[in-house]
C-alpha cells in the first residue's frame, strides 16, 4: 500500500528546501514506484485509472508546484537533482524568498552513509486514497494531492518559523 506519509515526507522536505530550512533531500531509490489509482475525469461511472509515478517524478512535480524546475543527472549513486529554472513570479505569489533558491543548486542526492534519508520500498502497491487529511471528497487526483500538501506544508512551516 502506498504510504501517504512517504508522499507527505518528500513534499515536506521540498517545502523546507524552498524556504531555506534544509539544503537537500536524500533518497535511497529515485526509481521506486508509486502506483496511484484515481477516478477517471472523463467517465462518470466507477472507472479508475492507474498512474505509475516514480519518486523522481514526485520530487520533480513538487518542486514545479513551487515554481522550481529541477533536472536529474548522473546514474545510480551519483544521480542528483539540480535546479535549472526558477519562476520568480510563482515564488513571489507563494511568498517564498528567492534567496534560498539558486540556479545549479543540488537539491536531491542519493543517500550516502552519512546522510539521513527517506526510505522508499522498491515497489509500492496500488492504492486508492480516501478521505485525505480532512478533504471532504472521497477520492483525490495525484496532481491535486501534491498541490494540497504543498500549500498545507507552506502554511504550517511558515507559522512555525
The pLDDT of residue 141 is above 50: yes
Kindly state whether residue 160 falls inside one of the protein's structural domains: no
Kindly state whether residue 63 falls inside one of the protein's structural domains: yes
Instruction: For residues 115 and 27, give the distance between their C-alpha atoms in angstroms, rounded to a whole number.
Output: 10
Kindly state whether residue 159 falls inside one of the protein's structural domains: no
* pLDDT tens sequence across 112-140: 654 444 545 433 333 333 323 322 233 56
Give the predicted TM-score (pTM) of the model. 0.78
Residue 84: pLDDT band (50, 70, 90) is very high
- Percentage of residues in the chain with pLDDT exceeding 70? 69
Map grid coordinates 500500500 to a residue: 1
Tally of domains within the chain: 1
Q: Between 123 and 7, where is the model more confident?
A: 7
Yes or no: say if 157 and 49 are a contact pair by the CB < 8 Å rule.
no
Q: Which CATH number is 21's domain given? A: 3.90.25.10
* pLDDT tens sequence across 41-77: 555 556 666 667 889 999 999 999 999 999 999 998 8
Q: What is the DSSP letter of 160?
A: H
Kindly state whether residue 161 falls inside one of the protein's structural domains: no
Kindly state whether residue 157 falls inside one of the protein's structural domains: no
Q: What is the pLDDT of residue 53?
A: 82
Which domain covers residue 59, as residue numbers?
Answer: 4-152
Residues 6+ away with beta carbon under 8 Å from 62: 10, 11, 14, 146, 150
Amino acid at each position: 500500500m502506498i504510504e501517504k506519509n512517504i508522499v507527505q515526507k518528500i513534499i515536506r522536505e521540498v517545502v523546507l528546501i524552498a524556504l531555506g530550512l534544509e539544503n537537500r533531500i536524500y533518497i535511497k531509490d529515485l526509481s521506486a514506484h508509486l502506483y496511484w489509482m484515481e477516478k477517471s475525469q472523463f467517465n462518470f461511472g466507477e472507472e479508475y485509472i492507474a498512474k505509475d509515478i516514480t519518486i523522481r517524478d514526485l520530487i520533480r512535480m513538487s518542486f514545479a508546484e513551487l515554481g522550481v524546475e529541477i533536472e536529474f543527472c548522473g546514474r545510480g549513486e551519483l544521480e542528483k537533482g539540480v535546479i535549472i529554472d526558477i519562476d520568480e513570479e510563482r515564488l513571489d505569489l507563494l511568498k517564498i524568498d528567492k534567496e534560498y533558491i539558486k540556479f545549479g543548486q543540488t537539491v536531491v542526492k542519493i543517500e550516502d552513509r552519512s546522510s539521513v534519508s527517506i526510505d522508499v520500498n522498491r515497489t509500492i502497491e496500488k492504492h486508492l486514497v480516501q478521505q485525505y487529511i480532512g478533504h471532504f471528497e472521497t477520492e483525490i487526483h495525484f496532481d491535486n494531492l501534491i498541490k494540497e500538501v504543498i500549500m498545507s506544508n507552506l502554511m504550517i512551516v511558515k507559522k512555525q518559523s
